[in-house]
Amino acid sequence: MRQATGQISRLGTLKSLLQRFAFLALVGLTFALMLIGKADTVLVERARIAITDAVTPILRIMSEPASGIASFVSNIRELAAIRRENQSLREANARLMQWQAAAQRLDSENRDLRGLMAVVPEPTSHFVTARVVADTGGAFAQSVIVNAGSSDGVAKGQVVMNGEGLVGRVIQVGVKSARVLLITDINSRLPVRVGDSSARAIMGGDNGTRPRLMYLSEKSAVSAGDKVVTSGDADAFPMGLPVGQVVRVGDGLAEVEPYMAGDKLQYVRIFDFGLANTVAGTTSATTPVTTPPATTPPAQPAKPAAPPATAAAQ
């Protein structure tokens, strides 16, 4: 019994000694490694590379289960998300099918009513897409130059739009280029309709970013947020083209924020609605100009010769 107690006491003494000198041993080892690293960096680098090469396969083997588990969990989450998205798409598709059926029914009804009323059909339109190559906007002009011209079917007076709304109208045409007058230019005048009440007005540019509505009736209930579209008056522009939104009304004026951003134009579409000939001073490139034949005025009869003057007054 005493012998066992003595062994336990010796083991406890040894353990306490190890605990006391372990910290000092680690400090000494660290210091020695620092000295070796400073003395021979090549040797330390080689040892580091060797240890890394030896440990890398072990780390790769240990990481594969964790990576597999993470991939499995990710696949489960993606599968759940795909199922939810699939359900949402099914519901959206069902709603779209209902709207498609309603649209087809309304389109058929519209065609029948147009036939009964003998409505004159709207002219067909086509367009070309062009890139804005220069912005000549400044304090006194708001226009851009595009890389499409008469060789591409562009003509003076055609309508220019982008993905957001109306941009302007072609005012000059070359063989490979054209100049577009923006709706914000001070020379731009655009007949429009405003809001649900379809109040008529003329939108005039002022070389700023927000054109103004002019000639608005005092009885027009125009407020901020109303949509502005072309009215089609005088066949200058087709009816219903999106232009912008009223942002401020006050002091008898209404300002419009155009859908298009003149400083961000990159690509535009130039439409031929068949209205180029209706603009004063413009002629479509596809419509020849006919000049009436010159007519020769009929010969006037010769006037009788005046009698000779008498030598003396009677």
pLDDT per residue as tens digits for the range 238-268: 888 999 999 988 776 889 999 988 778 889 9
| Structure tokens belonging to residue 163 | 């993905």
75 has a pLDDT exceeding 50: yes
Contacts of 136 (CB under 8 A, 6+ apart): 143, 144, 145, 179
234 lies in which domain range? 126-278
In a domain, 136, yes or no: yes
At 40, is the pLDDT very low, low, confident or very high (cuts 50, 70, 90)? low
314 has a pLDDT exceeding 50: no
User: So what's the pLDDT on residue 16?
Assistant: 75
User: So what's the pLDDT on residue 82?
Assistant: 92
278 has a pLDDT exceeding 90: no
| Structure tokens belonging to residue 20 | 């006391």
User: So what's the pLDDT on residue 173?
Assistant: 93
In a domain, 109, yes or no: no
Between 135 and 299, where is the model more confident?
Answer: 135
| Structure tokens belonging to residue 220 | 């027009």
305 has a pLDDT exceeding 50: no
The predicted model gives 60-78 an average pLDDT of 81
In a domain, 152, yes or no: yes
- CA dist., res. 223 & res. 246, Å (int): 7
In a domain, 246, yes or no: yes
297 has a pLDDT exceeding 50: no
In a domain, 302, yes or no: no
* Average pLDDT across the chain, whole number: 79
Share of the chain above pLDDT 90, in %: 32
The half-sphere exposure of 41 on its side-chain side, counting CA atoms within 13 A, is: 1
User: So what's the pLDDT on residue 52?
Assistant: 82
User: So what's the pLDDT on residue 181?
Assistant: 92
- CA dist., res. 251 & res. 216, Å (int): 12
In a domain, 309, yes or no: no
168 has a pLDDT exceeding 80: yes
Between 268 and 1, where is the model more confident?
Answer: 268
- pLDDT digit string, tens, across residues 116-167: 887 777 667 788 999 999 887 666 678 999 999 999 999 999 999 998 899 9
Q: What is the CATH number of the domain that holds 182?
A: 2.40.10.340
Q: What is the DSSP string of 86-123?
A: HHHHHHHHHHHHHHHHHHHHHHHHHHHHHHHHTPPPPP
At 39, is the pLDDT very low, low, confident or very high (cuts 50, 70, 90)? low
User: So what's the pLDDT on residue 49?
Assistant: 83
Token look-up 């009677």 returns 314
Q: Give ∠ CA 239-186-279 in degrees, rounded to 5.
A: 45
195 has a pLDDT exceeding 70: yes
In a domain, 1, yes or no: no
In a domain, 240, yes or no: yes
Rounded to 5 degrees, what are φ and ψ at 221? -90, 80
User: So what's the pLDDT on residue 68?
Assistant: 78
At 37, is the pLDDT very low, low, confident or very high (cuts 50, 70, 90)? low
CA-to-CA separations, 286 to 127, 235, 280, 289, in angstroms, rounded: 14, 18, 17, 10
- CA dist., res. 258 & res. 138, Å (int): 18
Number of domains present in the structure of the chain: 1
